[in-house]
A and B are shown apart, each in its own frame.
Chain A
Amino acid sequence: MLLTREEVTQIAALARLALTDTEITLFQKQLTAILDYTALLQKLETGAVPPTATVLPLHTVLREDVPGACLRQDETLFNAPQTQAGYFLVPPIMVKE
């Protein structure tokens, strides 16, 4: 079943991806083909089968709450695209009306 352009655009918005028109057209076809293939899972009877989220026998892992070594400010900011006065600089989150 072909995904609509609107669906592709909506998924891209949820994934925070700005797509070009060409990409939307391409992904519309390719995602449809992949999702059509995965539809074969609907043949499986899975009523009472528990889902596997992890193969591990481990559950919640706890550790002592002790402070360890941490990064210095200059190491923390080293990769930042923009900084100011020791902070990460980002566009305004709230704008005054």
Chain B
Amino acid sequence: MTVTSPADLTIHEAVMLLDEGTLSSVALTEAVLERILTSDNDVRAYLTLMPEAALEQAAQADTLRNALRTSGASLPLLGIPLALKDNLSTRGVPTSCGSRILEDYVPPFDATVVQRLKRAGAVLLGKTNLDEFAMGSSTENSAFFPTHNPWHMDCVPGGSSGGSAAAVAAGEALAALGSDTGGSVRQPAAFCGLVGLRPTYGRCSRYGLVAFASSLDQVGPIARDVNDAALLLSVIAGHDAQDSTSLPDAPLDMATALCGHDLRGLRVGVLVDHEGVGVQPAVKRAVLAAVDTLADLGAEMVDVQLPHSEFALAVYYLIAPAEASANLARFDGLRYGYRAAADTLEELYNRTRGEGFGAEVKRRLMLGTYALRAGYYEATYIKAQQARTLIRQDFEAAFAHVDVIVGPTSPVTAFRLGERLADPLQMYLADIFTLPQALAGLPALSLPCGFDEEGLPVGLQLTAPALEETRLLHVAHAYEQATAWHTRRPNLTCSN
């Protein structure tokens, strides 16, 4: 389609126009705010909007750009309007995590990734909806309201970073940050026809990301193309002394990542099916066609197996809730957040948490508490950690023979709102392809590779060895250059 509003530009297109002087950040930000005004009543991507602050930042960015022009210096995201998932702490701006228990919570500090976006000159539009504490795959577990998929308003945008993905797909932000614990950046990106990147565990600081499962959580970008995802990654990545699980700085070569269409010499492992999981025929077709495209670009296809990935779901749903049950113990109604009326401390804890948390969070806290119970710990939690080792070893063995692994991001395209709420296990099964990478700490990326019969986007997932984001982006970019899926935008038919 032809771009009719600056709100539909990619970051790199907008940067070009801003540098030329044919677009101002104020005009760009106004266009995005205008889109939010017309679309977000239906999409409902945002929990908090900061239009005045955003326009002020945009005006400052325009002034700064003029000043920098004479000196030849530049900031990578200067004047670019972005959105943040509402589990990233923002100084002076509510950070609810989609939960009643933090409904009125206003952090006194910025997450490191937020600081880095600000330092890079970004304009921050607001905070986006999510499944409560990032627990979910549809954004229906938000305590406030569900978000709709801009490609089909009756469908979920995926989750848990569904608000971020829906905002970017609808032109309500040029790009956004999400967080990925078991697929929460990649799956909504797939459902909304976007690029979503989960970085290597430890590549990006978790400081100020409200913790869900600390050994799995990573912040990642959701963007309209690979170039934009790479740009955002380069801004938010890097060691942070505030996060003891942050890795030392590792190379990230954007010039190499975004050059060339030639994949000769690249060995690609293909994994399309999964034991016991029905992959939707349209998803399978699109992924296999993408594999052909990679072969046309010169890549060599190699058989790989990840024999223990059939255990990934069971492992994840013991380890992540166990970590969550420890992390969410801090929400006790004493120092911040919701407090229920109670006469005793014990009653205060129980009622605050019973009333403040939604059903999915309670379910997982119970599951985690069960797994960590004295006497059951060895058979459940330790067993899951041992299986996690086997899953990691599968990847090590596979990457001895291949450079990247490709497959579907999700076995299905976006499903209908309400369709999977009654059966949590069915909902969890939608994450089957994104869990193994999270458990192994590997970087993985989802990008658009086609559409189903209903016009819903299909995501292709690429996985690389730890810290090989450059390779991941290179393959994704080459594929993107050979296809046009990423240029499509949803037809927003709004009710007002």
Point out residues on A near B: beta carbons under 8 Å: 8, 11-19, 23, 26-27, 30-31, 33-35, 37-42, 44, 46, 49-56, 58, 61, 63, 71, 75-76, 78-82, 88, 90-93
Contact = CB atoms under 8 A, between A and B. Distances in A.
B487 interface: no
| Interface-central residue, A26, A46, A55, by most chain B CB under 10 Å | A55
B492 interface: no
B136 to A, nearest CB: 14
Contact of B247 (A15, A40, A56): A56
A41 B314 contact: yes
Contacts of B424: 30, 33-34
B313 A37 contact: yes
A78 B365 contact: no
Given A35-B367, A52-B385, 20 more contacts: A11-B366, A11-B370, A11-B373, A12-B366, A19-B354, A19-B362, A27-B362, A27-B366, A34-B424, A38-B384, A41-B315, A44-B383, A49-B386, A51-B382, A52-B389, A56-B201, A81-B339, A90-B334, A91-B345, A91-B348
B385 A53 contact: yes
Nearest to B105: A79
A78 B337 CA distance: 10
Contacts, number: 163
A18 B351 contact: yes
A44 to B, nearest CB: 6
Given A88-B335, A90-B345, A91-B344, A38 B366 contact: no
Given A19-B362, A46-B387, A56 B441 contact: yes
B366 A31 contact: yes
Nearest to B334: A90
B245 interface: yes
A23 B342 CA distance: 21
Contact of B318 (A17, A30, A38, A75): A38
A79 B311 contact: no
B467 to A, nearest CB: 11
A88 B334 CA distance: 7
Contacts of A11: 366, 369-370, 373
A30 B108 CA distance: 38
A54 B245 contact: yes
Contacts of B344: 91-92
Given A37-B314, A55-B215, A56-B201, A17 B350 contact: yes
B317 to A, nearest CB: 6
A34 B317 contact: yes
Interface string B339-360: 1001111011111011101010
Nearest to B429: A37
9 contacts: A15-B366, A16-B349, A31-B367, A35-B370, A44-B390, A46-B387, A55-B466, A78-B108, A90-B345
A52 B442 CA distance: 14
Interface in B372-417: 373, 379-380, 382-390, 392
B91 to A, nearest CB: 10
Contacts of B428: 34
Contact of B241 (A53, A55, A63, A76): A63
A53 to B, nearest CB: 6
A46 B336 CA distance: 43
A78 B367 contact: no
Given A18-B354, A63-B241, A33 B425 contact: yes
A23 B368 CA distance: 17
